[in-house]
Amino acid sequence: MDNNKVITAHELTKRFGDFTAVDKITFEVTRGEIFGFLGANGAGKTTAMRMLSGLSLPTSGQATVAGFDVYKQNEQIKKNIGYMSQKFSLYEDLTVKENIRFYAGIYGKSDAFIKEKTGYILDHLHMTSEANKLVGSLPLGWKQKLAFSVAIFHEPQLVFLDEPTGGVDPVTRREFWQMIYEAAETGITVFVTTHYMDEAEYCNRVSIMVDGRIEALDTPGGLKRTFGARSMDEVFLKLARAAKRSE
Amino acid sequence: MRTLKFLLQKEFRQIFRNPAILRIIFVMPMIQLLILPLAADYEVKNIKLAVVDHDHSSYSRQLISKITASGYFKLDNYNGSYKEALQEVEKDHADLVLEIPDHFEKNLVKEDASTLFIAINAINGVKAGLGSAYLQSIIRDFNGQVREEWVQFPRFSPETQVMVTSSNWFNPMMNYRYFMVPGILVILVTLVGSFLASLNIVKEKEVGTIEQINVTPVRKYQFILGKLIPFWLLGLFVLTLGLGVARFAYGIIPAGSLFTIYVFAAVFLLAVLGLGLLVSTFCSTQQQAILISFFMMMVFILLGGLYTSIESMPEWAQWLTKINPVSYFIDVMRMVVLKGSGLADIKTHLLTVFGIAVLLNGWAVVSYRKRS
């Protein structure tokens, strides 16, 4: 096992009845990388991510995450990953502090660790004065930044981000990407889906899914050269227009 | 263990922060126990009576005053004819028509026999049945009085006279509250135990937080225990509150030991919590969970022997009550509260409900999946 590969997927497939949501995808993600996982709505991104994070059982193919097999060792995978879903998933009726404490606690972190790191994170997010406010009362951008901090609080090897910046204003989006870079610097591999092509440019490598298959995988620069495009937007449009599935 | 501590802490924080749940737990049992037993009374009172008296004799008047003096009947009207009286029934002014024929008194005295006619509005079956039974017993009584006045009993009566005397065991005053309050309390405990729990889990599904929990290392049993324990405690709390209301508002002090009640309640709550868990694994929205819960609650109440006696149900329905945990608890509550039964007396009930609990929880655990 190549210790430098955080994710390896080989012909990973998920079928729901007759419908093949994810069709034999093969790729690898290297440690410390920011890996952009692009695709139109319904291309199969979320399903692929759910298989890799142990929420969904693959129909066929192989995959390992953090060195563990997705079929048999999904509980070990869970200890080593963070996950931020498309739906906001902190508890709105708990305070900022209580949410952090809860999620850190169920990952088995010690009280001392939780206390110290909570202080650091609140300070870093400039949310110290909001620590005892209910999460439901925060603006969306703050919630997303908090959710990301909670997802990596237990210092996982890898974090899955499913459209983390959907509906967030441009300033907060920039701050959010700043946080992603900081996380990557501490050695956390970032696996992120997005619909914003400017964000795709920030990634080290990008894959583009069309109709359940990975049609392209390269650095943003490499993709632009291959498709003779000036921007990632153009690359994406060229590929996504060929899609047969509707939204 | 530590994970469970965090789960419980979170659960209790959320429960005590939710005013709707607090109201359900604290206020609903109080109000239901204070109001429902007054309304859920089997005695039929204020039956509206229309009288058609063709005789106008002193006996006929005596009979009528005896009927109204019983307290069960309200004299609606004297009517000149049966036809008129029937119109009163049609207009729903009267439930019963008593027709006293011509020469009622004369026949009674001279011929030692007379006839009366009763017509009953049977739209409300219970009212009609009990009303006519009350009326007949009053008339029988009246008959006895008349015979005593006029007829010298021979030393050996030609007719055998059977006198029935009865005494009411366990509830000497036949107080319906003693009967209803423990039953209603059971329904409340069921409500809190199963349906609050299922709504709570389904809410996490709806909001999406359950998916977040599913990607954490929290084990299935930890998650389930984290949900069951708080509602198990809340159920016992509601029971305590309800027993308090029963004692201070109705003076109902269980004849048996509280320990027996709590032991049974603890096992019973496991069963209904298992049911709640099961409902939550099959529902993806709170709306679905509420509708299913509502449906099941109706079945529980109507097939639980709260309002109607299980013995008088058809056989197939009696079989259904055997898989209804609520019917066991209602029975046990009545046994312990009124009769003073102990653990040994309710052993079969306890074991059966424990079996149901194991079955429901097992089923729920099998169908709850962290991975689809």
| Lowest-pLDDT range of A192-196, B173-177, B238-242 | B173-177
pLDDT in the model for residue B146? 78
Neighbours of B314 (CB within 10 A): 8
- In this predicted structure, the answer to whether residue A246 has a pLDDT above a threshold of 60 is no
Distance from the B10 Cα atom to the nearest Cα atom in chain A, whole angstroms: 7
Q: Please indicate if any CB of chain A lies within 8 Å of the CB of B2.
A: yes
Tokens of A164: 């983390």
Q: Name the pLDDT band for A63 (thresholds 50, 70, 90).
A: very high
Distance from the B40 Cα atom to the nearest Cα atom in chain A, whole angstroms: 39
B82-110 core/surface letters (b: 16 or more CB in 10 A; e: else): eeebbebbeeeebbbbbbbeeebbeebbe
Q: Which residue of B has its CA nearest to A85?
A: B212
- In this predicted structure, the answer to whether residue B186 has a pLDDT above a threshold of 70 is yes
Q: What is the pLDDT of residues B271-289, one digit of tens each?
A: 999 999 999 988 989 999 9
- In this predicted structure, the answer to whether residue A247 has a pLDDT above a threshold of 60 is no
Q: Please indicate if any CB of chain B lies within 8 Å of the CB of A72.
A: no
A15 or B143: which leads in pLDDT: A15
Examine the domain organization and report whether B180 and B323 are in the same domain: yes
A179 vs B4: CA distance, rounded Å: 31
Examine the domain organization and report whether B201 and B330 are in the same domain: yes
> Which of A79, A85, A98 faces B208 most closely, judged by CB atoms?
A85
- In this predicted structure, the answer to whether residue B193 has a pLDDT above a threshold of 90 is no
Mutating which of B212, B213, B219 best tests the A interface, going by the most A Cβ atoms within 10 A? Answer: B212
Chain B residues within an 8 Å CB radius of A75: 217, 219
- In this predicted structure, the answer to whether residue B262 has a pLDDT above a threshold of 80 is yes
Distance from the A138 Cα atom to the nearest Cα atom in chain B, whole angstroms: 16
Chain A residues within an 8 Å CB radius of B212: 83, 85, 89-90, 103
pLDDT in the model for residue A115? 93
Q: Is residue B159 part of a domain?
A: no
Q: What is the pLDDT of residues B306-337, one digit of tens each?
A: 777 888 888 888 888 888 999 999 989 888 98
Chain B residues within an 8 Å CB radius of A85: 208, 211-212
pLDDT in the model for residue B354? 96
- In this predicted structure, the answer to whether residue A64 has a pLDDT above a threshold of 90 is yes
Examine the domain organization and report whether B228 and B303 are in the same domain: yes
Q: Is residue B157 part of a domain?
A: no
Amino acid letter at A22? V
Q: Is residue B290 part of a domain?
A: yes
Q: Name the pLDDT band for B235 (thresholds 50, 70, 90).
A: very high
Q: Is residue B163 part of a domain?
A: no
Q: What is the pLDDT of residues A192-230, one digit of tens each?
A: 998 888 889 999 999 999 999 999 999 999 999 999 888
Examine the domain organization and report whether B142 and B197 are in the same domain: no
Examine the domain organization and report whether B187 and B248 are in the same domain: yes
Examine the domain organization and report whether B254 and B325 are in the same domain: yes
Share the mean pLDDT of chain A: 91
Residues 6+ apart with CB under 8 A from B47: B72, B73, B74, B95, B96, B127, B131, B134
Examine the domain organization and report whether B202 and B59 are in the same domain: no
Examine the domain organization and report whether B222 and B85 are in the same domain: no
> Which of B6, B17, B371 faces A102 most closely, judged by CB atoms?
B6
Q: Name the pLDDT band for B42 (thresholds 50, 70, 90).
A: low
Last residue of a domain, one of B150, B183, B213: B150
Q: Name the pLDDT band for B108 (thresholds 50, 70, 90).
A: confident
- In this predicted structure, the answer to whether residue B54 has a pLDDT above a threshold of 90 is no
Lookup result for tokens 């010690």: A110
Share the mean pLDDT of chain B: 85
Q: Do B211 and A108 touch (CB under 8 A)?
A: no
The residue segments making up the domain with residue B314 are 2-40+173-367
Return the percentage of chain B with pLDDT > 70, whole number: 92
A31 vs A183: CA distance, rounded Å: 12
Is-contact B264 B332, C-beta < 8 A? Answer: yes
Examine the domain organization and report whether B132 and B225 are in the same domain: no
pLDDT in the model for residue B155? 57
Q: What is the mean pLDDT of residues A17-42?
A: 92
Between strands A189-193 and A205-210, the pairing is unpaired
> Which of A55, A85, A94 faces B10 most closely, judged by CB atoms?
A94
| Top-confidence range, A4-18, B39-53, B75-89, B176-190 | A4-18
Q: What is the mean pLDDT of residues B345-365?
A: 93
Q: What is the mean pLDDT of residues B61-71?
A: 86
Distance from the A105 Cα atom to the nearest Cα atom in chain B, whole angstroms: 6
Q: Please indicate if any CB of chain B lies within 8 Å of the CB of A92.
A: yes
Q: Is residue B287 part of a domain?
A: yes
* Residue A167 main-chain phi, psi, to 5 deg: 75, 10
- In this predicted structure, the answer to whether residue B79 has a pLDDT above a threshold of 70 is yes
Q: Name the pLDDT band for B163 (thresholds 50, 70, 90).
A: low
Last residue of a domain, one of B118, B150, B182: B150
Examine the domain organization and report whether B81 and B205 are in the same domain: no
Examine the domain organization and report whether B265 and B119 are in the same domain: no
- In this predicted structure, the answer to whether residue B113 has a pLDDT above a threshold of 60 is yes
SS (H, E, C) chain A: CCCCEEEEEEEEEEEECCEEEEEEEEEEEECCCEEEEEECCCCCHHHHHHHHCCCCCCCEEEEEECCEECCCCHHHHHHHEEEECCCCCCCCCCEHHHHHHHHHHHCCCCHHHHHHHHHHHHHHCCCHHHCCCEHHHCCHHHHHHHHHHHHCCCCCCEEEEECCCCCCCHHHHHHHHHHHHHHHHCCCEEEEECCCHHHHHHCCEEEEEECCEEEEEECHHHHHHHCCCCCHHHHHHHHHCCCCCCC
Q: Which residue of A has its CA nearest to B216?
A: A78
B254 vs B178: CA distance, rounded Å: 10
Q: Do B17 and A102 touch (CB under 8 A)?
A: no
Chain B residues within an 8 Å CB radius of A114: none
B290 vs B296: CA distance, rounded Å: 10
CATH number, domain containing residue B86: 3.40.1710.10
Return the percentage of chain B with pLDDT > 90, whole number: 25
pLDDT in the model for residue B27? 86
Distance from the A79 Cα atom to the nearest Cα atom in chain B, whole angstroms: 6
Q: Where are the domains of chain A?
A: 32-57+75-240
| Lowest-pLDDT range of A94-103, A212-221, B55-64, B70-79 | B70-79
Q: Name the pLDDT band for B263 (thresholds 50, 70, 90).
A: very high
Residues 104-123 of chain A whose Cβ lies under 8 A from any Cβ of chain B: 105-108
- In this predicted structure, the answer to whether residue B173 has a pLDDT above a threshold of 70 is no
Last residue of a domain, one of B150, B185, B208: B150
Chain A residues within an 8 Å CB radius of B217: 75, 78-79, 106-108
- The CATH topology of domain A32-57+75-240 is Rossmann fold (3.40.50)
A105 vs A99: CA distance, rounded Å: 10
**Number of compact structural domains in chain B:** 2
- In this predicted structure, the answer to whether residue B8 has a pLDDT above a threshold of 80 is yes
Q: Is residue B166 part of a domain?
A: no
pLDDT in the model for residue B68? 86
Examine the domain organization and report whether B13 and B107 are in the same domain: no
A85 vs B208: CA distance, rounded Å: 9
